[in-house]
Amino acid sequence: MRHAIDVADLNKSFGAKHVVKDFSLQVREGEIYGFLGPNGSGKTTSIRMICGLLKPDSGHGTCLGYDIRDSTSIKREVGYMTQRFSLWEDLTIRENLDFVARMYGMRDRKDAVSRSLKELNLEKRHDQLAGTLSGGWKQRLALAACMLHRPKLLLLDEPTAGVDPQARRDFWEEIHALAAKGMSVLVSTHYMDEAERCHRLAYIAWGRLLATGTPDEVLHLFPLVTWEVSGPPARLAELNARLKGLRGVSHVTAFGNTLHVTGEDAAALEQAIAVFRNEENIHWHQARPSLEDVFIHLMTSNGEAAQ
């Protein structure tokens, strides 16, 4: 398959801080690629280099067949949706879209705006001020603005931050419908359920790409073993403190009313937790490691090396 994005060995520094280090990524046409990592990991900087908004210090690559330094050509065929709503709150939905269409210099902007309103189900709200919209409707308007010029690639920077679950679900249905029509999508997210909706994933931390693959491939990158522990909150908090740092325990993470106790060596982990297995009001069972377990493991196992 052809690649919408194909970049290698990108580096970017701001002063003495090396933000992105030897970053390489390939995104196929028609693919939804999830881009994950903690705040400050270099995700946004990487996305901006890919779409020509920021020049790398070194490295090379293409976006939609254009050199990543050819920002003018890339902008014509890319839709970029930022995390923060960046349209005009004192304009109506239609006025916002018409203004964006003018910025793109679209000759058929009236038809393009009407089409975008219809495709994103915004027709009934076309005369509503953007500032009065809920987070979900603002998100839908931002996506409509990105789609006005019929881009081949969507770059979405944490597009569902602060949006309710139903709006997030509706948004992802729209993204999958676009991908089914051949649209390529690179989306950064902190939500594990959204990561599982992607065709492939990349995880970045401290400016370095730590893992790539399908969600299932990423789950099996490491031979992790996870035990799930349930019990009264006070007992779990106490157990959390006692388990951390034990030999064989890589990390302990609270998940609602349970703890996930994870290690790389099954025998060493079982030996570490054996003394706690028969304590009152505590229930243990072996669980399948989740994507979040894998990413937390990546963070903890690579943290010291990055300092």
Decide if 35 contacts 209 (C-beta within 8 A).
no
Residue 149, pLDDT score: 87
Residue 192, pLDDT score: 84
Residue 1, pLDDT score: 65
Residues 6+ apart with CB under 8 A from 87: 96, 100, 130, 138, 141, 142, 145
Residue 289's SS3 state is: coil
Decide if 36 contacts 205 (C-beta within 8 A).
no
Is residue 165 very low, low, confident or very high in pLDDT (cuts 50, 70, 90)?
Answer: confident
Is residue 37 very low, low, confident or very high in pLDDT (cuts 50, 70, 90)?
Answer: confident
Give percent of the chain above pLDDT 90: 56
Between 39 and 208, the higher pLDDT residue: 208
Task: Quote the DSSP letter at residue 290.
Answer: P
Give just the sign of the alpha carbon dihedral 81, 82, 83, 84.
Answer: negative
Residue type for position 191: Y
Residue 157's SS3 state is: strand
pLDDT in tens, 59-102: 999 999 999 999 999 988 999 887 777 789 999 999 999 999 99
Scan for tokens 């969507």, then name that residue.
154
pLDDT in tens, 214-273: 999 998 888 899 999 999 999 999 999 999 889 999 989 888 889 999 999 999 999 999
> Torsion over CA of 167, 171, 177 and 178, rounded to 10 degrees?
160
Over residues 283-292, mean pLDDT: 90
Least confident interval from 14-18, 152-156, 211-215, 296-300: 296-300
Residue type for position 148: L
Residue 19: pLDDT above 90?
yes
DSSP string, 32-56: EEEEE--TTSSHHHHHHHHTTSS--
Rounded Cα–Cα distance for residues 122 and 87 (Å): 15
Over residues 143-169, mean pLDDT: 86
Computed over every residue of the chain, the mean pLDDT equals 89
Least confident interval from 9-23, 81-95, 273-287: 81-95
For residue 261, the cross-strand partners are 227, 252
Rounded Cα–Cα distance for residues 239 and 261 (Å): 10
Residue 103, pLDDT score: 85
Residue 306: pLDDT above 70?
no
In the chain, what are the domains? 3-214 (3.40.50.300), 225-288 (3.30.70.330)
Phi, psi at 11, each rounded to 5°: -130, 145
Over residues 23-27, mean pLDDT: 95
Over residues 173-183, mean pLDDT: 91
Rounded Cα–Cα distance for residues 46 and 41 (Å): 10
Residue 307, pLDDT score: 45
Q: How many CB atoms lie within 10 A of CB 92?
A: 17
Is residue 305 very low, low, confident or very high in pLDDT (cuts 50, 70, 90)?
Answer: very low
Is residue 304 very low, low, confident or very high in pLDDT (cuts 50, 70, 90)?
Answer: very low
